[in-house]
Chain A
Amino acid sequence: MQRERIMTLLARKLAKEITEEELSELETLMQLYPDSLYYEETLAQVHFKKDPEPDAESAFERHLLKYANDFNEVATEESLPEKRWWPGLAIAATLLFIAGFSWYFMVQPGPKLANPDTTVSCGKDTRKKLMLPDGTSVWLNANSRLEYDQDLFANNNRQVRLFGEAFFDVAKDKKHPFIIYTEKISIKVLGTAFNVKAYPEDNKTEATLLRGMIELSINNEPEQHLILRPSEKFALTQSKTDEFRSALVIEQLKPISISDKIYYEETSWLDNKLVFKDNAFEELMPKLEKWYNIQFKVANPKVRDYHFSGMLDEETIEEALTAMQLVRPFKFKMLPNHTVLIY
Chain B
Amino acid sequence: MQDLSNISSLISDIANYDSEAAYKKLFILLFPSVKRFVRCMVKSSPVAEELAADVMITLWRNRADLPGVRNIMVYAFVIAKNLSLNFLKKNSKRQIVSFDDVDITLEADNITPEQILISDELKTRLNQSIDALPPRCKMIFKLIREDGLSYKEVAEILDISVKTVDAQLVIAVRRLSEAVKKEYNLS
Contacts and interface: CB of A to CB of B under 8 A. Distances in A.
Given A42-B118, A48-B109, A51-B45, A8 B170 contact: yes
Interface stretch (B3-11, B31-39, B70-78): B31-39
A12 B184 CA distance: 23
B132 interface: no
B88 interface: no
30 contacts: A4-B174, A7-B174, A8-B170, A11-B170, A12-B169, A16-B150, A17-B166, A39-B173, A41-B116, A42-B116, A42-B180, A43-B176, A45-B111, A46-B110, A46-B126, A46-B130, A47-B109, A48-B108, A48-B146, A50-B36, A50-B109, A54-B32, A59-B49, A59-B53, A63-B53, A63-B56, A66-B53, A67-B57, A70-B60, A76-B18
A56 B166 contact: no
A20 interface: no
Tell me the dominant secondary structure on chain B's binding face.
Answer: helix
Contact of B186 (A15, A38, A41, A74): A38
A261 B46 contact: yes
Interface residues of B, number: 54
A115 interface: no
A56 B186 contact: no
A140 interface: no
B81 interface: no
A11 B110 contact: no
B36 A56 contact: no
Contact of A48 (B44, B142, B150): B142
Interface string B7-32: 00000000000101000100110011
B32 A47 contact: no
Nearest to A13: B173
Interface residues of A, number: 41
Interface in B154-187: 166, 169-170, 172-174, 176-177, 180-181, 184, 186-187
A260 B50 contact: yes
Interface string A26-48: 00000001010011011101111
A14 B70 CA distance: 25
A39 B180 contact: yes
B115 interface: yes
B126 A70 contact: no
A62 interface: yes
A60 B110 contact: no
B46 A259 contact: yes
A158 to B, nearest CB: 28
Contacts of B109: 47-50
A41 B177 CA distance: 11
A49 B142 CA distance: 11
A53 B177 contact: no
B110 A47 contact: yes
B27 A56 contact: yes
Interface string B84-107: 000000000000000000000011
Contacts of B27: 56, 59-60, 63
Contacts of A261: 46, 50
Nearest to B18: A74
Contacts of B36: 50-51
B113 interface: yes
Which of B28, B118, B177, B186 gathers the greatest number of chain A CB atoms within 10 Å?
B177
Given A39-B180, A59-B53, 11 more contacts: A17-B150, A41-B116, A46-B126, A50-B109, A51-B45, A54-B35, A56-B28, A59-B31, A59-B35, A67-B60, A76-B18
